[in-house]
Amino acid sequence: MPAAEPEAPDEDCFDGWSLHQLPDGGEVFASPCQRVRLHFPSTPAWDNAVTVAAYNGPTGEPLWRARFDDTAPDAVIGSLMCALAHDLAQPDRYDQQRALVGPVVEDPDDLLAPARRCPGATSPARCGCPRAFGLDRTYLTRAGWRLWGLHDGRRWHAHFDAATPAHLIAAACHPLDEHPTCAFAPETADCPHGDRANAPLETLLAAAREVVAETGRTSATALAEGVRARGIPVGTARARKIAALLKAERAAGLL
């Protein structure tokens, strides 16, 4: 998003937000409560072209910041901002607080695993689909998370403070779900997995039972690998839940 031509995201949930000119030539897009601000500096650095910040009050200290470089896609920033605006527009103040102090990221795979897996791979190690984006922990300049991606052939980055709510980082990742066609997949299969990206628990259990029948293993790691090899994405938390259910079935003589 070029800082020289800032535009407020065109979403209904931004009613009441306002664009302000700064004395130094920069601009700020602010929430009605002034606790969340999108800052466009007048002379942006390459790795700090747009900053989203949440504060504990209109004139309070920052709670967290998200910084985007000058090649980050508009959709990534806009998706995070719309999620923020949605939280702040809720009538219940406890729902509003999600934008400020929501649960933070514990395991990035819980956010990204569905988009990282390939339907054409016979095992997790045999996917020819390049990683189109990723989320990594960073300690280089500040503790937190670094989101990276590829856009128009160029690599871009965003940095999130450790206190940034996980659902907002997930919202930023949402527009990145389109991957290149996998070299190992059938010609009609693209990454990610289309309708299987949010497979119901019954579908995951059916695939996991096949894995157990073939391998005899019920560990979360083995089940996750087997299910993903069948073209069905599964995160770490769901794999553990499936493992617990299948171990109970085996103990009861049902598996």
Which ranges of the chain does DSSP label H, i.e. alpha helix? 74-88, 93-96, 98-101, 109-116, 166-173, 201-215, 220-229, 236-251
Amino acid at 148: W
The pair of structure tokens assigned to 87 is 């939280």
Q: Give pLDDT < 70 ranges for the chain.
A: 1-13, 44-47, 112-132, 140-142, 151-153, 177-199, 255
Work out the burial of residue 60: count CB atoms within 10 Å of its CB; fewer than 13 is exposed, 13-18 middle, 19 or more buried.
Answer: exposed
* Residue 51 to residue 252: CA distance in whole angstroms: 54
pLDDT of residue 129: 54
pTM listed for this prediction: 0.62
pLDDT of residue 162: 92
| CA-atom Rg of the chain in angstroms | 21
CA distances from 10 to 75, 76, 78 (A): 11, 14, 9
- Domain coordinates of the chain in residue numbers? 12-109+132-176, 199-255
Encode pLDDT of 80-138 as tens digits: 998 898 888 888 888 888 888 888 888 787 776 544 555 554 444 445 455 667 888 88
pLDDT of residue 118: 54
pLDDT of residue 68: 92
The pair of structure tokens assigned to 254 is 């049902």
Report DSSP letters for 1-20, one per residue: --TTS------GGGTT-EEE
* Residue 31 to residue 226: CA distance in whole angstroms: 46
* Residue 193 to residue 189: CA distance in whole angstroms: 8
pLDDT of residue 12: 58
The pair of structure tokens assigned to 201 is 């628990």
- Contact criterion met (CB below 8 Å) for 124 and 65: no
pLDDT of residue 93: 85
